[in-house]
Structures are given as structure tokens and as C-alpha cells.
Amino acid sequence: MDNTDQHESDHSLEAPPRLVSTLKEISRHEVFIPRHISRAILKTAQEHLATRAERRFGSIREWMLWPALAAACVFVACIAWLLTTRPHYAREDFNHDGKVDILDAFALARQIKSSAPLSTTSDINGDGVVDGRDVALIATHAVQLKRDNGS
Amino acid sequence: MKFLLTILICALAAPLFAQQPAEESPVRFRAVDIYVDSSNTPLAAYQLQFSVTNAVAKIVGIEGGTHPAFRQPPYFDPKAIQQERVIIAAFNTDKPENLPTGRTRVATIHLEIIGAERPAYELKLQTAGDSAGNKIPVTATCEENRSE
């Protein structure tokens, strides 16, 4: 049989009118499903879907566990480093404001004048005594002309 | 006649051979007063940078101010002498009532000015503090001392 003949035969294929009317009749009628069967189907479907979802998320959790743990360790290490590391100040930076100026010399001079106990770090020139010479050393440092930054 | 002509020529040519008068030296000295105005807060410490911006003057000396608290010459780098820039600073640990308030002359900078050009100055306040060592807002100005 050649293609032309088959094409013609396809056109000639028509369902019998009775079959067509019967099928149309079926779709009009509701199919009755008892309530207990409907519930059982629903329950089974829910259980099935829940198991699948749990399996999927469970695998994600496993995959995320180690990177999350590593990130937490890094975070804790950073916090510990920030808490334990003190900023480094110049020896002459007596008031710890990040720069050496006349206020550092002034702060030390005030402390010497008030007879408050002085720490060994105040002994700027390292002669074993905290006195006006240490103050003068800070002041001299404060007014020093530096060629690099123009201060 | 010849004799008179010779004398005349010699008289006219004399200025050409005469020694040229030395050029008057344009070097002169000037004093610049430095003022700090701390308003109502007693001024206990200051630090500022003074510079001549057009390079026609050199620093030759620095002296203290008028108020007893800052009468002593301020701290400065000796390397600044014969330069155009200096950082000056001073403090006083006296009681607040003995410290200056308002506009106070804290120092005078002596300059040697070279040439006829008028020097230009720049004053940068670096810090100032009250008697407790706290930073305070102040205004620093400078002006040429005309009395010299």
C-alpha cells in the first residue's frame, strides 16, 4: 500500500456514532468514589510525598554541614583574634589616639605633676626615671619635621 | 682746544669707568605673630604648623607669646631654622584660671625675607587641648608684626 492510499484510509476512519454518543454520555456522569477510599488515597499520597521531601532536604543538610561548620570556626577565630589583638601604638603616643602630638607630652606632664603612679611604659628615654625629660622627648618627637609626609 | 676736548671726553667717560655701586641688598626681617583663639575654654596646649608658601622667606627665630602660660618659646625642630616650615607646640599644666582664654598670641616667628616679593603664609592647626587634656576646637591665625 502506498502513502496516498493510507492517507485516504485515515480520512475514512470514523468512530461509529454509537460509540461516540456512549463516550460523551460517560463524561457527563460523575464517577462515584466512596469517601473512605478517597481519604485512603489522599493519605497514601501525602505519606509518599513527605518521604520524598524529607529524603531531599536530608541530603542537603548533610551537604551543608561541613562548610557551615568550617565557616563557624573561621568566624569564631576572627572574633577571638579581634578580642585578643591590641592595636599597636607608638611609645610616645601616650594618650593612645594614634598619633604623637603635644597632647601626649601634656598628658604625661599632667600625670607627673599629679604624682599619680606611673607605669614603666612612661619611661620614654629608658633612663629608669619618668620625669620632664620624657615629656620633652615626646614634645620633640611631636614637632619633628618629617620629609616624607610633609608633617 | 685739544686739551679742552680731552678733558671733556674724560669727564663724559668717567662714569663708565667708575665702580658700579653695589646693589642694595633686598634682605629684610619680619616677625609674624601666631594667635590661638580658644573662645571661653582655657587653652592648655596647642600644636600648629607654620609655613611660607612662596619660598621668599626663611625662619630665623621663634619666641614665646604674651600670656605667662606661653611666654616660653614653644617646642620646635631646630632643623626648621633657615627653612620655610616649622611645627610649633607648647603646653602648660597650670590651673585653668591661669591659662589664657579668647584670642592669645602664643608665639612669634621671625623671618628673613629675600627679595621684594611679599611672603605668603600658611598656618595649619594640628591640635589644641584644655587643662584636662581634651581636644578643643580653636582658631589659629597669624599676622605680620608691623611694629618691627
What domains lie within chain A, and their CATH numbers? 89-151 (1.10.1330)
Give the model's pLDDT for residue A108: 93
Torsion of Cα atoms, A79 then A83 then A87 then A91, to 10°: -160
Would the CB atoms of A142 and B79 count as touching at under 8 Å?
no
pLDDT > 50? residue A87 = yes
Would the CB atoms of A102 and B86 count as touching at under 8 Å?
no
Would the CB atoms of A102 and B89 count as touching at under 8 Å?
yes
Query: For the segment B73-103, what is each residue's pLDDT rounded down to a tens digit?
Result: 999 999 999 999 999 999 999 999 999 999 9
Judge if ipTM > 0.85: no
Alpha-carbon distance B62 to B77, whole Å?
11
Residues A41-45: what's their mean pLDDT?
A: 92
> Residue B85 is nearest to which of A102, A107, A145, comparing CB atoms?
A145
Residue of A nearest to B136 (CA): A103
Would the CB atoms of B44 and A106 count as touching at under 8 Å?
yes
Alpha-carbon distance A103 to B87, whole Å?
14
Beta pairing partners, B32 = B109, B144
Give the model's pLDDT for residue A149: 45
Query: For the segment B100-139, what is each residue's pLDDT rounded down to a tens digit?
Result: 999 999 999 999 998 888 899 999 999 999 999 999 999 9
Closest listed residue to residue A46, CA positions, set A54, A34, A36: A54
Q: Judge contact between B72 and B66, C-beta under 8 A.
A: no
Min Cα–Cα distance to chain B from A81, Å: 31
Per CB distance under 8 Å, which residues of B are interface residues toward A?
A: 44-47, 49, 74-77, 79-80, 83, 85-91, 93, 126-127, 129, 133, 135
pLDDT > 70? residue A147 = no
Total-model pTM: 0.64
> Residue B80 is nearest to which of A105, A106, A145, comparing CB atoms?
A145
Q: Judge contact between B112 and B26, C-beta under 8 A.
A: no
Query: For the segment B45-55, what is each residue's pLDDT rounded down to a tens digit?
Result: 999 999 999 98
Residue of A nearest to B44 (CA): A106
Q: Which of B43, B58, B126 to mutate to test the interface with A (most CBs of A within 10 A)?
A: B126
Closest listed residue to residue A151, CA positions, set A112, A82, A101: A101
pLDDT > 50? residue A59 = yes
Would the CB atoms of B88 and A143 count as touching at under 8 Å?
yes
Segment among A23-32, A103-112, A127-136, B87-96 with least mean pLDDT:
A23-32
Give the model's pLDDT for residue A1: 46
